[in-house]
Amino acid sequence: MKLNQAYSRKIFVFVPLLAVLFAALGVWGAGAILSLPAARKIENLPGGFAVEPVAFASQSGATLRGWFIPGQPGAGIVILMHGYRGDRSQMAGRVPFLVQAEYGVLLFDFQAHGESVGKQITLGYLESLDAQAAVAFIKERYPAEKVGVVGLSLGGAAAVLATPPLPIDALILEMVYPDIHRATANRLARYMGNWARPFTPLLTWQLKPRLGIDENALRPIARVSVLPVPKLFIAGEKDRHTPLSESAELFAAAQAPKEFWVVPGAPHGDAHQMMASEYEQRVLAFLAKHLRRLRR
């Protein structure tokens, strides 16, 4: 009887420890998967636009591939920056209304995404160098044009994290995380349940051995306060990756001029797909205010 009780006690201790070990190994494996490149062949841009295939070098080490659609001189140029594990085609739905409004448009793939090479996704760190490269590419070709950026999730984080700040005239940030710790915790809770939140440090700790950076390198909320460019923040009311409270906190940390739009009922994702008409109206009004001053 005593042997059975001792065995039961060992099982009572061993099973929870084994469960924790398997969970920790699962989180470690998840870190490897999350940083894997998202390379893929990109189809042609739909819509029959006069597209120029472009390629330009980034200090991330990648040659970035993209499309450029010329606009009317003096109207301004808009650079579209896609989200995590996406590619330039993720932003293609915005091209028609921007082209109709006479803007030039640049879409490109971040390093380790789409047709741009790269060893691993870095959640905004190396991608911020790509954001700089995209702006420099447009500035070199069109030095007289004003430039706006639309960044979706990872794309917005990359635009904010760029150092020094991007030399642009308007910035639209869609559903951007405030810091990588909360972004990680929210995603663990979203896909595994709230019980998984305590494993967040196991994922964020991997930033150093995997990517050579720490959490402080991925804090848009610490960078947005130094950006003087006019900003439009777009948040999803039902976003579980970046909850509305976190989007509001990011907005509060930013310096003026700034605007804030909450998309009713929207989860994390493409706000343009969810509410195209109002999205286009708000974005065009914002861009017209800040990019049209050169026009006669």
pLDDT tens per residue across span 132-181:
999 999 999 999 999 999 999 999 999 999 999 999 999 999 999 999 99
Cα(130)–Cα(162) distance, integer angstroms: 9
The model's pTM? 0.90
DSSP 114-160: ETB--S---TTHHHHHHHHHHHHHHHHH-TTS-EEEEEETHHHHHHH
Residue 212 pLDDT class (50, 70, 90 cuts): confident
Cβ atoms of residues 37 and 121 within 8 Å: yes
Beta bridge partner(s), residue 172: 150, 232
Nearest to 86 by CA among 44, 39, 118, 53: 39
Helices 125-141 and 154-161: angle between axes, nearest 10 degrees: 70
99: enclosing H helix or E strand: helix 95-100
Residues 24-37 have pLDDT tens digits of 555 555 556 778 99
171: enclosing H helix or E strand: strand 170-174
List of domains in the chain = 35-179+218-291 (3.40.50.1820)
Cα(226)–Cα(38) distance, integer angstroms: 31
Residue 153, φ and ψ in degrees, nearest 5: 55, -110
Mean pLDDT of 117-131: 96
- Strand 77-81 to strand 104-108: parallel, antiparallel, or no bridges (unpaired)? parallel
Residues 243-293 have pLDDT tens digits of 999 999 999 999 999 999 999 999 998 899 999 999 999 999 999 999 975
Q: Which residue has the higher pLDDT, 151 or 199?
A: 151
Give 90-93 contacts, CB < 8 A, sequence gap 24+. Answer: 90/152, 90/270, 91/150, 91/152, 91/155, 92/45, 92/46, 92/47, 93/270, 93/272, 93/273, 93/276
Residue 210, φ and ψ in degrees, nearest 5: -85, -45
Residue recorded with tokens 């610490």: 222
Residue recorded with tokens 């990109």: 42
* Cβ neighbour number for residue 113 with a 10 Å cutoff: 31
Structure tokens at 54: 């472009």
pLDDT of residue 275: 94
